Amino acid sequence: MVNDPKTKTNLAIVSAVSAVICGISLYYIIKPYEIKNYRTQLAALSGDIFEKSATKKFSGTISELKALSGPEPDKYLEETILPELKVQLLSQKSPYASIIDPAEYESRVQALSSDLQARHVSPEVVAETIIIKTRKAKKAPDYNTELTWSWSDKDKGYLQLVFKISAIDFIEAKTVITHPAYENQYLSRKHFFTVLAWVSGVVAAISLLILAGLTLAFKLRAGKAFSSVPALKEKVGEFANAGQFMAALNEINKHLAYLSDDSEVIALKNQLLVKTKGDPAKAEQAYNKLQFIKGKLESRGMDKINDKDLEDLRMISDSIEVENVGAIIGRIEGQLHTKIAGARITAARSRAKALLENGRPAEAARELEKVQQDPAMNEYAGLLLGMDDNARLALPSPDSLKSIHGTAEEIIRKSQTDLAEGKELVKRGEVTLAGELLTKAFGANRELTEAETLLGKIEKSRKAEKLVLTPEKIGKKVFIFKKDVITVFRKDFKEPDIEVNSKTVSRDAHLKIAVMENKVLAEDQNSSAGTKIGGELLKGGSRLEINDGDIVDFNGAYQMTAHICRGGAGRAAPTVLGGTVVSSELRHESAESKTIGAVVFEGEDDRNFIMLLNSAPVAFKSIGLVYEKAGDCSICLKDGAVLLMTADYTEILHPGAMLEYKGIRYKI
């Protein structure tokens, strides 16, 4: 701090600024300004009034002062001047009988009368007392008063007061006062500048004293530093030998603070910077690390040196000149390269095996290739050749990566083959076998998202008990039921498979349709109006067989035509009809009788209904998806999944899918 130029400059600036502030403050303190105190001036005004009233021999009463008029409203003046003038008037020896307001006088007389009457004084005595009081003071004022003001010098706050009393004759008194607000403002400002002058003066004086003291101290210390240069050289040498380069630099800088142009001290600093390569702090850190590594080598041996120690040794050689560091680095690097490369191989093998177990062979192959293509692996292989058999066997071989890499590639190839075969099976409608292959492919290779997508479609289709195909533009809505028993009624509390919203159709139970023993049977559910099937009325809980082409008529409210699709073998689920359980049996196809694959009901409105047991031929036409015996495609039920099978491909139907064929789109 003694020789800090910045400190001295700051002190000089503080001293100069404080002196300027002190001078400005003194100017405002001694600046001429006369305050005409309103209390003093009002006392003179009231004295002048009474003196003139005595000369004029005025006597009598005047009304109380209640207003102060002027060029502008001034509440401050009214609240200050009027009360003070009243005090001054009352303090004078008044020539008047009283200065009182007539209304107030009347109030006093009335109060006296009421008091006497309350004491039961006779009316005659009350009247006489009031007369006596009235003689002592006159009720009405004899003189008019007027108190006005105007600015005399507004910039200085001077204003003139004029007080006039008039009757037949008049008297007038004038005075100039300082506006009370201006007076208070001046006094406050004068007090502020007085305090500011004292404070700034004290700060300026203290700053000058400190500046003078620092200058004197610098000269004394500079002389002392010059005499101790030889001792400095010895001390700096001791610090440098002990690796305490920052302490040596601090000692040199202390002398340079007082001997900035001394050649010996400057040369000493340059020698230190050369030794530490321009960064004493970094050099000191490097020296300490070197001592630590040396101790580690002596106590634990070369095997305990790690890559962090090698990094530190390289930093040391870049920071300071130290003997034998290069030799130590060369010895350690060979061992570390071997350890690091071996660790990388071990880690890569473990990581690759974990990825293979988690179904990520492609990622495993990429990681193995990255390690195998690293140039350090060739160097590692060369180091292994130079080792004895025991040392070589203790380290992992780079060839072990090739074996795992081959396994990963084989898994990728096999999973892709399984995916391709699974897709081909889906195309042929073999859902069960396709699902097994796709599951196997995706389990081995999670990157085959196409297999996952196909499995998801199959599972969604299996879980759906009913599918509704809604045309995007034209065509009928198609309802596909994966069961051999459906219900038809008017919805109330229950949900029907086919809803007919008509009063002629019974609520919650009207008709049940089931496929049994290669027949389509309709059973009335004790409906109120019954159902006509092929022109025959079905009612009272009885049954009728529905034949191909029959019209199921719900009393004219709704009609649908039945189409029975036969052909294909399959195992139907157990059926419950009329309380009787019919076991599922293997149905054999023959020339005389074919197994029912599906029953299609073509509604008279915008709906078609399919009871899908095996398959139903359909066709895509301009009016949408329709039943057709010789259709170019079919809707099939395979292993619980609903498929649209064409000559070219197979589409899995599931909730959320979009079906498009021959320009017609359906949302499922």
Examine residue 571 and state whether it is found in any structural domain, yes or no.
yes
Predicted pLDDT at 138: 46
CB 86 within 8 A of CB 67: no
Q: Please check whether residue 610 is in contact with residue 631, taking contact to mean a CB–CB distance below 8 angstroms.
A: no
From CA 148, how far away is CA 592, in angstroms rounded? 136
Q: 45: which 2 tokens? A: 């005004």
Provide the token pair at 513: 């349709």
Q: Rounded to whole angstroms, how far apart are CA atoms 659 and 668?
A: 7
- 138 contacts: CB under 8 Å, gap ≥ 6: 60, 61, 97, 98
Residue ranges in the chain whose pLDDT is less than 70:
1-5, 32, 58-64, 90-106, 108, 132-142, 168, 217-229, 256-262, 293-338, 376, 378-395, 568-593
* pLDDT at residue 461, as a whole number: 94
Question: Nearest 5°: phi and psi at 663?
Answer: 80, 0
Decide which of 459, 481, 513 is a domain's last residue.
Answer: 459
Provide the H-helix boundaries in 301-374. 307-319, 325-357, 361-372
- Whether residues 507 and 644 fall in one domain: yes
- 550 and 662 within one domain: yes
What was the pLDDT predicted at 522?
Answer: 96
Q: Say whether 39 sits in a helix, a strand or coil.
A: helix
Count CA atoms closer than 13 A to 229's CA, side-chain side: 17
Distance separating alpha carbons of residues 432 and 413, to the nearest angstrom:
22
Residues 469 and 594 in one domain: yes
Separation in Å, CA 359 to CA 352, 446, 660: 11, 5, 34
Q: Are residues 251 and 158 in the same domain?
A: no
pLDDT of residue 244: 81
- The letter for the amino acid at 45 is L
pLDDT at 559: 96
DSSP-assigned letters across all residues of 185-254: HHHHHHHHHHHHHHHHHHHHHHHHHHHHHHHHHHHHHHHHHHHTHHHHHHHHHHHHHTT-HHHHHHHHHH
**Is residue 303 a part of any domain in this protein?**
no
Q: Tokens 């030998």 correspond to what residue?
A: 241
When divided into structural domains, the chain yields a total of 6
User: CA 616, 619, 624, 626: dihedral to nearest 10 degrees?
Assistant: -40
What SS3 class is residue 18? helix
Instruction: Judge if 377 and 475 occupy the same domain.
Output: no
Q: Is 161 helix (H, G, I), strand (E, B) or coil?
A: strand
Same structural domain for residues 395 and 468?
A: no
**Which of 248, 275, 302 is the last residue before a domain boundary?**
275
Q: What is the pLDDT of residue 584?
A: 37
Kindly list the strands in the beta sheet with 144-153, ordered across the sheet, starting from the edge strand earlier in the chain.
144-153, 158-166, 170-178
302: enclosing H helix or E strand:
none
**Residue reference for tokens 């400057």:** 266
Does some domain include residue 282?
no
**Residue at 354 is within a domain:** yes
What crossing angle do the helices spanning 280-300 and 325-357 adopt, rounded to 10°? 80
Give the distance from CA 653 to its chain's centroid.
44
Q: What is the CATH number of the domain that holds 53?
A: 3.40.50
Nearest to 610 by CA among 482, 426, 456: 482
Give the Cβ contact number of residue 42 at 10 Å.
22
At which residue do the structure tokens 């004290």 appear?
Answer: 202
Establish if 219 belongs to a structural domain.
yes
Total-model pTM: 0.48
The domain in which residue 11 lies consists of: 5-33+187-224
Nearest Cα to 176, choosing from 195, 162, 155, 191? 162
pLDDT of residue 455: 93
Q: How far apart are CA 538 and CA 550, in angstroms?
A: 13
Q: Do 92 and 18 share a structural domain?
A: no
Check whether residue 620 and residue 551 sit in a common domain. Answer: yes
Do 600 and 655 fall within a single domain?
A: yes
The residue among 440, 459, 478 that closes a domain is: 459
SS3 474: coil
Could you write out the three-class secondary structure of 528-550? CCCEEECCEEECCCCEEEECCCC
Q: How many CA atoms lie within 13 A of 145 on its CB side?
A: 22
* The two structure tokens encoding residue 11: 């002190």
Give the pLDDT confidence of 127-185 residue by residue, as tens digits: 777 776 665 544 445 677 888 999 988 888 889 999 888 776 788 889 999 888 888 88
Residue 264: Cβ within 10 Å count = 12
In residues, how long is the chain? 668
Residues 152 and 128 in one domain: no
Q: Please, are residues 594 and 621 in contact by the beta-carbon 8 Å criterion?
A: no
Q: Which of 559, 553, 516 is nearest to 532 (CA)?
A: 553
Q: Is residue 308 part of a domain?
A: no
Given this model, what pLDDT does residue 552 score? Answer: 97
Report the C-alpha gap between 207 and 341 in whole angstroms: 69
DSSP state of 164: E
400 lies in the same domain as 331: yes
Residue 318 lies in a domain: no
Are 474 and 664 spatial neighbours (Cβ–Cβ below 8 Å)? yes
Instruction: Look at residue 330 and tell me if it is in a domain.
Output: yes
- Cα gap 400→346, rounded to integer Å: 9
DSSP H or E stretch at residue 623 = none
Order of strands across the sheet with 485-489? 498-499, 485-489, 511-516, 519-524, 543-546
- Note whether 161 and 214 are same-domain residues: no
pLDDT at position 320 is: 66
CATH no. for residue 526? 2.60.200.20
Q: Could you tell me the two tokens for 22? A: 């002190």
SS3 of 282, please?
helix
DSSP single-letter state for residue 614: S
R_g of the chain computed on alpha carbons: 60
pLDDT in tens, 603-661: 999 999 999 999 999 998 888 889 988 888 999 999 999 999 998 889 999 999 999 88
Q: Which of 179, 198, 98 is nearest to 139 (CA)?
A: 98
Which helix (H) or strand (E) covers residue 14, if one does? Answer: helix 5-30
